[in-house]
Amino acid sequence: MVQLRLGPVTVGGVVLDNHLLLAAGILGTTGSSLARMLSLGAGGVVTKSIGPHPKDGHAGPCLVVLEDGLLNAMGLPNPSKEFADEITSLAKKPVIASIFGGDPAEFALVASWFKDRVAGFELNLSCPHAEGYGAAIGTDPALVKSCTHAVSVTGVPTWVKLTPNVTDITEIGKAAEAGGASALVAINTLKAMRISTGMRRPVLGNRYGGLSGSAMFPVAVRCVYELYESCNIPIIGCGGIATADNVIEMMMAGASAVEIGSAVYNEVKVFEIIKADLYRKEGLPSTEIIGCAHG
């Protein structure tokens, strides 16, 4: 297997401890949980998505385990502005605040609460199961551009997380780039559903949800590959990554770093495990690998 040499890692304006980030929505609700994941080897952490108002999220069931993935509809539960207190103790750590809003003004408002406390922003323009937020905005290139601009003007590195639930993801990627994004994060979950045959109803409280985990890794690789061909800012690959070889494959598709989420279900120490496999002193510099499957 290809292995990497671990040198300094800066992606989309954010200095990371390694190439592996904790994905948004996973163990990111509290400062102490984020600190724990950093201590367990994450090179950076993305917080739970924070919005303009506190939200309780959807009624349960909110998450079920499938054979090769997870299906969830949390409904963007978040404490809103109070979250600033959670991350006070993480100043100067590689913490990226995931934020969402219903329009550019709301994005700007939420960003203003955190801009002096975080290393970067990740715009959630991609949650597939929250009415009026996420993918409801992230499928419209004009809105993606204006929401991205509303945050990128803060000068804080601004990553934009994209939804795969579109015909052409590169159109959305280009809109984010035009709005001043410093990096693209691809991808959020695939809109999905399971029905409990015994109960004769959709198994999630919200009926619709998002599929993550190994089942959608090939979709994520394809999206990263397409974005690398058409955009000129770094890409952070996300979707079903569970092994060091998955990381290498995602980098070959064009990712400069990766986010890991669902794999935490099987093993909370997944970052340490992947790091041990991914890095060695005699490994290749990441620049030799990133995008090497193109051309």
Clarify whether 238 is annotated catalytic.
Answer: no
Residue 73 C-beta: closest distance to other proteins, Å = 10
How many Å apart are CA 208 and CA 188, to the nearest integer? Answer: 15
| Residue tagged 């980098």 (tokens) | 251
Instruction: Return all residues near 13 (Cβ < 8 A) that are at least 6 apart.
Output: 120, 157, 182, 183
# chain residues binding other proteins, by CB under 8 A: 52
Buried b (16+ CB within 10 A) or exposed e, 258-291: bbbbbbbbeeeebbebbbeebbeeebeebeebbb
CB of 12 to other proteins, least distance (A): 24
Tell me the C-alpha distance between 184 and 29, whole Å.
23
Q: 212 or 286: whose CB is closer to other proteins?
A: 212
Q: Does 246 bind other proteins (CB under 8 A)?
A: no
Helix (H, G, I), strand (E, B) or coil at 152: helix
Residue type, 34: L
* Nearer to other proteins (CB atom), residue 74 or residue 136: 74
Least separation, in Å, of the C-beta of 37 and other proteins? 8
Question: Per-residue x/- mask for other proteins, residues 25 to 54, rule CB under 8 A?
Answer: xxxxxxxxxxxxx----------x-----x
Site for other proteins in 96-155 (CB under 8 A): none
- Whether residue 79 has a cis bond before it, omega within 30° of 0: no
Helices (H) and strands (E) in the chain, counts: 10, 16
| Distance in Å, CB of 214 to other proteins, minimum | 8
**Phi/psi of residue 53, nearest 5 degrees:** -135, 150
Please list every residue from 178 through 217 that binds other proteins, using CB under 8 A: 194, 196, 198-199, 201, 203, 205, 213
| Cβ proximity to other proteins, 112 vs 266, nearer residue | 266
Which position among 127, 147, 223, 238 bears the catalytic label?
127
Among 74, 156, 224, 241, binds other proteins (CB under 8 A): 74
Interaction pattern, residues 262-281, with other proteins; x per rule: CB under 8 A: x-xxx-x-------------
Least CB distance to other proteins at residue 18 (A): 20
Alpha carbon distance 252, 220 (integer Å): 12
Listed in sequence order, the residues at least 6 apart from 152 whose beta carbon sits closer than 8 Å to its beta carbon are: 158, 179, 180, 181, 182
88 binds other proteins (CB under 8 A): no
List residues with catalytic annotation. 127
Give contact residues for other proteins (rule: CB under 8 A): 25-37, 48, 54-57, 59-70, 72, 74, 77-80, 82-83, 194, 196, 198-199, 201, 203, 205, 213, 261-262, 264-266, 268
